[in-house]
Structure 1
Amino acid sequence: MLLVSAFAGGLTLRDAGRGDPPAEFRPEFPERGLVTNEFAYWHPDAPGARHSPDWTMTSGSLFGLDGAGWSGHPDGERPDAESARATDSAVFRLASRRRDFGDTRLSLRLRLTDLVTTPRTPAQPYDGVHLWLRFHSEQECYAVSVIRRDGQVVVKRKTPGGPANGGTYVTLASASASFPPDDWTQAVATATDLPDHRVRITLELGGRRVLDVTDASPGGLYTPGGIGVRGDNTEFMFRDFTAQPE
């Protein structure tokens, strides 16, 4: 059954029940070569633009390497269609095209190769790799920091309006956690709806629960969204990327 609700701009339809859970998301990566990049996002009709059926990218470049996803060597320069001379992956922003991930278990194996700086991106405590859950936009999502320059793991809620690229972050939980460089480490992040419009977010590293927090004020993030990977001043690879209904 569908329910109709009114808002200032008109009417929307929503399911009365949860319905069928979304299908598992398990993207594949080539042995070598560009998957997509920011050039394809900002110049969608340009000759040679590399579009992915799975991903969009507002900044940076995503390559396949030995069947894994790879940031390429991070720099701060704008790439061409092939990311042949530059990657801009010092600011890496990768989001799924799908936006139907509600209660979700996101897992991957992650390998950190290097932390860098560029003239455009000086070192910051938050430099590292972060997972996006309930991604509505770069201004509205949960950001789960798996590895940071300062040795912290963090769960943040980002809502529209504010100084951080048009949004405002609120830290929901943080802890110290080690992440071995150059080793493949399993990371699992979950987002699960609870009664009374609360959302539970968890993070496991190497099979150990390192964060578990309930967000009592999720706002629009109580609804499904996308998933993704963010990198800051970091060269990294990831494989076995899987999103499943939680």
Structure 2
Amino acid sequence: MSGELPRQRFVLDTSLFITEEIRRGDESLESAVIRLFDLIATARLELNISCYVPPSIHDELATMLRERDVDETVFSRLDTWVVRKSPDRYGVTIPANIVYNFIDEMSDRVDRGLRVSEQAIREVEQLDPDALASDPTDDGREEYMTDADRILSDMRDKYRQALRQGVLDSREDFDLLILARELDAGVVTEDRGIISWADEFGLRYVRGGQFPTLLEEYLRAAGVEDES
């Protein structure tokens, strides 16, 4: 059957394997990932569907899985059924408008980050400066430091959201998109930033949590029984 079907390709993001959306009920991460690899293997053999990861994402994924103490079977199936391929960073071209939009967006995000910092400074200015000179065991100083820490923590969250949420913020993300563009492949991810830029690149994409169901539906339509 595989010889009769046009090849369909997907490039997989780390978030696909980590998201709880791929789990069934109280299924463990390890069981969910093994089941996903079984689906990928069956789709490869029966439907000529190939899945890829750039080396940077492979390494990132392997690190995350080892931190979660999964069985070596997971790594064996990863290396067997998911093709590791470096993107052609020199051969793949990107429209100038995409670069223009990226620069424009980052400029706007830097401005938002500055406003977040300015707001935090103003909040700190409202705290009682005399508390800094009080005895270390004095309740006033402890309260001051707690308020300052709270403001700093809040600023970090808002700053991270202003600069990083919904934007390409790593080489791994960029490798994913370049490889997908090179292979004319669909992107599989739960990362909103990657999804947004997949749109900019004119790429197909699938939410990570929907990918197992997508493969199951493909296999069902082809008359292949799901044994998972």
Q: Which structure has the higher relative contact order (CA within 8 Å, separation 6+)?
A: 2
TM-score scaled by structure 1? 0.21
Structure with larger Rg: 2
* Higher helix fraction (1 or 2): 2
What TM-score do the two structures reach when normalised by structure 2? Answer: 0.22
